[in-house]
Amino acid sequence: MEGITIRPASEQDCGRILALIRELAAYEHMEQDVTATEDILRASIFQRHMAGVFVAEADEQVIGYALYCHNFSTFLGRENLYLEDLYVTPAWRGHGIGTGLICRVARQAVEEGCQRLDWVCLDWNQPSRDFYEKLGAHAMPWWVGYRAEGEALQELAGISRERSEE
């Protein structure tokens, strides 16, 4: 990875991180789901500290990122890290940058005393699945992911019910 630097992101990186998030969303056919803005990222990551980000930089240009946050395992009784995104712009793939980024997040997990680093991958994304397995990670087919969002989340939270009772 000669000429590549992996470092913690700064607030000044928010614009480029957002551009890479949009690239990732396009790759995953989910562009319509991106509602993040630079201000939202700045507030969530650098003011509220809801997530951490490492960026890969070449020629003073951010070319990849790994965004993670904490989760908690009741079985282990401790915090662990969850890798939300790992993305390297296509022109820079195959140079060890993705490996460097995920290894940096893993080192962060170890430094914080975490026992695990978890993430998910779209089932159709075979190149990424192969990459992760080559690194020694394993798929967990016994888990099924669930999500509540939009109206379903509002209903689950009782908000729709409360509003209708007013």
Residue 164, pLDDT score? 55
Place of tokens 């790994």: 66
Q: What is the pLDDT of residues 109-153, one digit of tens each?
A: 999 999 999 999 999 999 999 999 999 999 998 988 888 988 998
Please, are residues 20 and 89 in contact by the beta-carbon 8 Å criterion?
yes
Residue 165, pLDDT score? 57
Domains (range + CATH), the chain: 4-165 (3.40.630.30)
Q: Which two tokens stand for residue 82?
A: 């969850």
The pTM of the whole model exceeds 0.85: yes
CB-count exposure of residue 150 (10 Å: 0-12, 13-18, 19+): exposed
Q: Which residues are catalytic?
A: 132
